[in-house]
């Protein structure tokens, strides 16, 4: 039986992987949060890998505070850069396949069509730069890796746009949402399933892949759909703005092309709205 380690297990994606794992009973999975496996503590990581024979490590741990990262550069790079390097070196030493999750924010957003894996990267904020550094370390230190970039994650867990909109809908009658960024909202449960499929299918086509739900929308469109599906659209209206200042700059277009991973796994990524509907109807 393959033994899998999931790091960052208390985070949004970590918790979705725990749920998705119920459908993969052939996999033995150890879930470790920061409390017992802090990736910045290299001794702890070494000890963990020496104690457990891990075949695959899914790294769902990360520093994910996009705006705060502008003022916490060292911390962002320590977690998303240096700690990932140490994890990659450790995985290589123990012949563990490293499945690492990265972000659409490695791109600058100037492209007008979906980003493919071979497009040049050029992050425009500290978070994106720190994630890109982690990717580079993995390519250099751990040949048996999958780097899976994703975008605009939401789910029933953690802090995310869906939960924020549902909370605001209880408190306000009008919301203002930006139309100046386009991306693909991605149900973290779908991503979790795909990461486990990579393992279940024994794929050895190591490299970089993109995974998001299918489609391209603005935050305004996403908010409007959440309100409609959850039955709030009568009570709450959404206004558009194309100037919603945030501390960190964000790419204007961060839609990812899923073709490479769809082909590898023989799947077709779900439409963003269908997946949103399923989640709201089953979890709220
Ligand atoms: N959320 C998005 O919209 C989005 C979009 C694109 C890509 N991604 C990527 O997707 C992945 C999963 O994101 P997510 O939304 O699940 O993020 P999340 O909810 O913030 O989860 C990350 C987890 O990592 C933990 N962590 C932080 N530092 C750690 C350390 N030193 N050692 C071990 N664990 C540590 C965090 O713990 P604390 O909270 O206690 O610090 C948290 O539980 C990340 O790689 C992220 O970069 C996310």
Residue 128 Cβ inside 6 Å of ligand 1? The answer reads no
- Whether 73 is covered by a domain: the verdict is yes
Instruction: Report pLDDT for 22.
Output: 97
204-217 per-position pLDDT tens digit: 999 999 999 999 99
Task: Kindly give the residue spans of alpha helices, DSSP state H, lying in the chain.
Answer: 12-20, 42-51, 73-77, 83-93, 126-141, 161-171, 188-200, 219-229, 259-265, 272-283
| Minimum CA distance residue for ligand 1 atom 8 | 103
Instruction: Report pLDDT for 284.
Output: 87
- The token pair at 258 is 């899923």
Instruction: Report pLDDT for 61.
Output: 98
Domain extent, residue 111, equals 2-160+186-214+254-270
Instruction: Report pLDDT for 242.
Output: 87
Residue 64 Cβ inside 6 Å of ligand 1? The answer reads yes
Residue 83 Cβ inside 6 Å of ligand 1? The answer reads yes
Q: Alpha-carbon distance 240 to 146, whole Å? A: 38
Residue 17 Cβ inside 6 Å of ligand 1? The answer reads no
Q: Alpha-carbon distance 174 to 94, whole Å? A: 54
Q: Give the mutation target among 31, 36, 57, 61 for probing the ligand 1 site: most ligand atoms within 8 A of CB.
A: 61
Residue with tokens 């970590």: 14
- Whether 13 is covered by a domain: the verdict is yes
| Minimum CA distance residue for ligand 1 atom 42 | 11
Question: What number is the average pLDDT over the span 182-205?
Answer: 98
DSSP one-letter code for 82: I
- Whether 144 is covered by a domain: the verdict is yes
pLDDT at 279 over 90: yes
CATH number at residue 12: 3.40.50.720
Q: Alpha-carbon distance 117 to 207, whole Å? A: 9
- The CB density around residue 161, as the number of other CB atoms within 10 Å, is 16
Catalytic residues: 127
Instruction: Report pLDDT for 244.
Output: 83
Closest ligand 1 atom, residue 15 Cα: 16
Contact 232, 175 (CB under 8 A): no
Q: How many domains does the chain fold into?
A: 1
83-129 per-position pLDDT tens digit: 999 999 999 999 999 999 999 999 999 999 999 999 999 999 999 99
79 Cα: distance to centroid of ligand 1 (angstroms)? 10
- Whether 249 is covered by a domain: the verdict is no
- Whether 174 is covered by a domain: the verdict is no
81 Cα: distance to centroid of ligand 1 (angstroms)? 13
Instruction: Report pLDDT for 111.
Output: 98
- Whether 80 is covered by a domain: the verdict is yes
Residue 183 Cβ inside 6 Å of ligand 1? The answer reads no
- Whether 241 is covered by a domain: the verdict is no
- Whether 70 is covered by a domain: the verdict is yes
12-70 per-position pLDDT tens digit: 999 999 999 999 999 999 999 999 999 999 999 999 999 999 999 999 999 999 999 99
130-159 per-position pLDDT tens digit: 999 999 999 999 999 999 999 999 999 999
């Amino acid at each position: 039986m393959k033994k899998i380690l999931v790091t960052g297990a208390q985070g949004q994606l970590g918790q979705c992987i725990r749920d998705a794992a119920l459908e993969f009973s052939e996999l033995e999975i150890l879930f470790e949060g920061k409390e017992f496996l802090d990736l910045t503590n290299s001794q702890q990581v070494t000890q963990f890998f020496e104690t457990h024979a891990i075949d695959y490590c899914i790294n769902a741990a990360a520093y994910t505070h996009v705006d705060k990262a502008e003022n916490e550069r060292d911390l962002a790079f320590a977690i998303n850069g240096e700690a990932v390097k140490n994890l990659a070196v450790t995985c290589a030493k123990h012949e563990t396949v490293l499945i690492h999750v990265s972000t659409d924010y490695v791109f600058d957003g100037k492209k007008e069509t979906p980003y493919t894996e071979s497009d040049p990267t050029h992050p425009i904020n500290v978070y994106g730069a720190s994630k890109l550094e982690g990717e580079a370390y993995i390519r250099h230190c751990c040949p048996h890796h999958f780097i899976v970039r994703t975008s605009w994650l939401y789910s029933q867990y953690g802090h995310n746009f869906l939960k924020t909109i549902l909370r605001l809908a209880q408190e306000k009658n009008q919301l203002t949402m930006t139309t100046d960024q386009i991306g693909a909202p991605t149900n973290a449960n779908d991503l979790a399933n795909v990461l486990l499929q990579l393992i279940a299918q024994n794929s050895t086509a190591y490299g970089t892949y993109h995974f998001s739900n299918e489609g391209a929308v603005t935050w305004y469109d996403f908010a409007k759909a959440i309100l409609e599906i959850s039955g709030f659209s009568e009570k709450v209206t959404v206004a558009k703005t194309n100037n919603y200042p945030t501390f960190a700059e964000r790419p204007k277009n961060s839609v990812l092309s899923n073709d490479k991973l769809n082909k590898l796994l023989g799947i077709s990524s779900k439409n963003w709205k269908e997946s949103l509907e399923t989640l709201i109807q089953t979890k709220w």
